[in-house]
């Protein structure tokens, strides 16, 4: 991705991705794909369109901008639908994390129950008494 940013003279901070000619994003910027070799994610001899993924300061995915000037509006709609779905998924994941944190805080705020173990009384039999 660094190579593409350099070739397109984009800022290091830009979040970019590639899409195919049908508008299917490759999600190369996602953590699970960032360490994978590009040849495993992209097909040889396939054409791609570079896109900028726009986010707000809190990380919300808001829109996608094609870096190709002559893109059909249907392709832009397809890209935007994927970004909208990505944002919905992000929000669901955040909600799960918040719910787990709330449960954890609730558990941690409960008083600890102190349990005591009673020792069993052990009697020793004198070996001399058994003879």
- As a whole number, mean pLDDT of residues 100-113 equals 79
118 versus 96: the higher-pLDDT residue is 96
Q: What residue has token string 């893109």?
A: 71
Residue 32 has pLDDT above 80, yes or no: no
Contacts 24+ apart (CB under 8 A), 41-50: 42/18, 46/20, 47/20, 47/21, 48/18, 48/19, 48/20, 49/18, 49/19, 49/20, 49/21, 49/75, 50/4, 50/8, 50/16, 50/17, 50/18
Q: Are 54 and 65 within 8 A, CB to CB?
A: yes
pTM for the whole thing? 0.70
pLDDT tens-digit profile of 72-89?
999 999 999 999 999 999
- As a whole number, mean pLDDT of residues 37-44 equals 71
What is the chain's mean pLDDT, rounded? 84
């Amino acid at each position: 991705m660094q190579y593409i940013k350099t070739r397109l003279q984009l800022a290091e901070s830009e979040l970019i991705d590639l899409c195919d000619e049908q508008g299917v994003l490759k999600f190369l910027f996602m953590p699970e794909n960032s360490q994978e070799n590009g040849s495993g994610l992209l097909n040889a001899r396939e054409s791609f369109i570079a896109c900028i993924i726009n986010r707000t300061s809190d990380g919300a995915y808001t829109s996608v901008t094609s870096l190709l000037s002559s893109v059909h509006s249907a392709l832009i709609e397809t890209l935007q639908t994927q970004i909208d779905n990505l944002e919905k998924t992000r929000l669901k994941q955040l909600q799960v994390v918040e719910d787990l944190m709330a449960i954890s805080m609730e558990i941690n705020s409960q008083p600890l129950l102190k349990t005591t173990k009673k020792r069993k009384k052990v009697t020793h039999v004198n070996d001399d008494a058994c003879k």
